[in-house]
Structure 1
Amino acid sequence: MDLALLRTFVTVHRAGSFTRAAALLGLSQPAVTSQIRTLERQLGRPLFHRRARGVTPTAVGDELAHKAAPHLDALLRITEAEREDAGALRSLHIAGPPEILSLRVLPALAPLVGQGHTLRATLLADSGTALDGLASGHHDLVVTTARPRGGPFTATALCDEEHVLVAAPYWAALVDTGRLREEGPAALDGMPLVEIHETLPLVTRYWCAVFDTPPDARSLAATVVVPDLRAVRECVLGGAGIAVLPRYLCQDALDAGRLVALAEPSVPPLRTWFLVVRTGSPALAHLGRARDRLLSAAAHW
């Protein structure tokens, strides 16, 4: 059986789409369709059900993928090892929100440059756009809080991020922390708020987790909106108001007394980050190495 046909088949099986598979393989969609039809004729069985949006494998297709994919991945690892032995540079394309990529992910991957890798980062706050780019081959790894379910992706929990309600000392002194503990967010009515979006995504998550209620739009509205948590932190440090921030972004300022935590819930709200790759791609040596390095580094985040 032609290995090229099997490679195309496994790529379509993992991508769930002829279009995405064509982009990953560097082929046209008609070429991918033709190869799948050729393989189906050779086997005498349909391998995919054609749907309005993509394809789903038949039972025969699932069985063939289960048998063929590990062997194709092994051949790919051999090929990649030979390329590395020849000194070929490999580019790693990673996408995710600017804060975690800038402060955690890229520093963790930086040592790979000394091992013959080049790094290309795309700063994307929108998870859907990042995952679409991953599926179509524009990115190799995506860091996101949106865990994809199945399809062409494999997601691994990377780390948990604790959120903290903070303010500069001036504003913190105006908050009755006892009332905040007893009455909840009503104690914060009228306080200026800094957020990443008008819909108050971080505040809403915090309020629901800690106070068991969404924020009241009539008494709490953003006075500063900036789509970068580092800028949110700097605005709060400058006295613009209160904000919800990841602890890793504000711990140094808390330790120095430049920020004050307004609440210390016994169970702090957490957000989980996931490392997402295309299924099968860790068989590529440079992607597997990057994935392992990130998982190792994240154990200490």
Structure 2
Amino acid sequence: MSITHLRSFVEVYRQGSVSRAAHELGLTQPAVTGHIASLEAQLERKLFTRHARGVTPTVIADELASRVTGAIDVAENVLAEVRARSMRVSGTIHLCGPSDILSDLITDRIKTLMHSNLAVQLHPAVDDEPPRMLVEGRSDFAFAVKVPDDPRIEAALYGREELLLVAAPEVVERIGRETALSEALQEVPFLSYDLQRYMIRMWIEHNRMSIGNAEEAVTTPDLRALRNFVVEGFGWSVLPRYLVAAHLRSGALDVIKGPRGNPEIAYYLLWLKSAMRNPRTARAKALLLQPPGDGEAL
């Protein structure tokens, strides 16, 4: 059973399309079709059911994919990393994600990429845009707080940040006049990153509290804008520590402590599994994930 044929099988399985798999592999569609036909002949079983929009894996394909996909990925990643060590890798790395992460959380990693002869282009994106940009080939890597359920995408934990409930000193004083914190938070305007109140819900649920049917005074998809509004005394919000550390030190913001402390939010680096065949992206991934202060990863 040829490794090349298995490689084609894995890509067709992930893409759900022979044509898209051929594009990702840099092969012709007839070549990939031939690889699948050869595997089916050796297994004496059908691997995919063809239809107008692509292919659907059979039970046999599901079983084969579960057994070989990880090994194929590891082998290709190792080969790409070895090639990266033996050649001068250059070019542009495209990174997408929320603007606050790109500007405030990954500065040291961007510098590491630049020092390794890689240019960087940043693409602000919110909600479900980052995974879509990866799949569409518009970005090499994405930063997100959730890992999408997509077999084509792989993720690694980038880091964790403490979530703090913060407000300007005068707003904190106003909240402190109330006897119960949950009641006080309902009486004072609050600001949210999104309509789902993702970070606020994490903090409230972690502290086993409720803010009832209180509604946001301001909603914005930019955490830096949200922070600036909180600094100006618009109300309270929940923000990651990295974004407010300097303002806490200067006294522009104060922390409101919850009865059970503060939760943490995880940040993930996402990439297409198929992209790791390229030495440039394999090198960039290692550099992006190396701990701050470490030497060059490759």
Task: Return the offset for 1:18.
Answer: 3.7
Tell me the residue number matched to 1:161.
161
> Secondary structure of the equivalent of 2:12?
helix
Instruction: Kindly provide the CA deviation profile for residues 202-229 of structure 1, in whole angstroms up to 9, marking residues without a partner as x.
Output: 322322221343x322xx2222222211
Q: Distance between the aligned counterparts of 1:73 and 1:244, measured in 2?
A: 39
Checking the alignment, whether the CA contact within 8 Å between 1:177 and 1:263 is kept in structure 2 is no
Q: How is 1:17-96 mapped onto 2 (pairs within 5 angstroms)?
A: 17-18=17-18, 20-25=20-25, 31-32=28-29, 34-43=30-39, 44=41, 45=43, 46-50=46-50, 55-56=56-57, 57-60=61-64, 72-73=76-77, 76-77=80-81, 84-85=87-88, 89-96=90-97
Q: Distance between the aligned counterparts of 2:81 and 2:13, measured in 1?
A: 19
Tell me the residue number matched to 2:289.
295
> Secondary structure of the equivalent of 1:21?
helix
1:201 corresponds to 2:198: yes
Task: Return the offset for 1:49.
Answer: 4.6
Checking the alignment, whether the CA contact within 8 Å between 1:162 and 1:268 is kept in structure 2 is yes
Task: Return the offset for 1:284.
Answer: 3.1
**Equivalent position amino acid for 1:204 in 2:** R
2:246 to 252, 255, 261: 252
Tell me the residue number matched to 1:225.
219
User: Cα gap change, 1:254/1:58 in structure 2, threshold over 3 Å: closer, same or farther?
Assistant: closer
**Equivalent position amino acid for 1:133 in 2:** M
1:211 corresponds to 2:205: no
Q: Distance between the aligned counterparts of 2:148 and 2:13, measured in 1?
A: 17
Q: How is 1:91-110 mapped onto 2 (pairs within 5 angstroms)?
A: 91-110=92-111
Instruction: Kindly provide the CA deviation profile for residues 242-273 of structure 1, in whole angstroms up to 9, marking residues without a partner as x.
Output: 11111111122112211111124444122111
Q: Distance between the aligned counterparts of 2:69 and 2:230, measured in 1?
A: 53
User: Cα gap change, 1:11/1:191 in structure 2, threshold over 3 Å: closer, same or farther?
Assistant: same
How does the TM-score come out when normalised to structure 1? 0.79
Checking the alignment, whether the CA contact within 8 Å between 1:14 and 1:279 is kept in structure 2 is no
Q: Distance between the aligned counterparts of 2:226 and 2:173, measured in 1?
A: 20
1:192 corresponds to 2:189: yes
> Secondary structure of the equivalent of 2:207?
helix
Task: Return the offset for 1:72.
Answer: 5.0
User: Cα gap change, 1:146/1:17 in structure 2, threshold over 3 Å: closer, same or farther?
Assistant: farther
Indicate the RMSD between aligned Cα atoms, in angstroms.
3.3
**Equivalent position amino acid for 1:114 in 2:** H
Give unpaired runs (5+ residues) of structure 1: none
**Relative to structure 2, which stretch is displaced further, 268-277 or 50-59?**
50-59
> Secondary structure of the equivalent of 1:211?
coil
Checking the alignment, whether the CA contact within 8 Å between 1:49 and 1:58 is kept in structure 2 is no
Q: Distance between the aligned counterparts of 1:100 and 1:74, measured in 2?
A: 29
User: Cα gap change, 1:37/1:63 in structure 2, threshold over 3 Å: closer, same or farther?
Assistant: farther
User: Cα gap change, 1:19/1:225 in structure 2, threshold over 3 Å: closer, same or farther?
Assistant: farther
User: Cα gap change, 1:186/1:92 in structure 2, threshold over 3 Å: closer, same or farther?
Assistant: same
Checking the alignment, whether the CA contact within 8 Å between 2:192 and 2:226 is kept in structure 1 is yes
Instruction: Kindly provide the CA deviation profile for residues 152-178 of structure 1, in whole angstroms up to 9, marking residues without a partner as x.
Output: 122111111211111111111111278
Tell me the residue number matched to 1:124.
125
Number of aligned residues:
286
**Equivalent position amino acid for 1:41 in 2:** A
Q: Distance between the aligned counterparts of 2:230 and 2:72, measured in 1?
A: 55
Q: Distance between the aligned counterparts of 2:75 and 2:137, measured in 1?
A: 22
**Equivalent position amino acid for 1:111 in 2:** T
> Secondary structure of the equivalent of 2:257?
coil
How does the TM-score come out when normalised to structure 2? 0.80
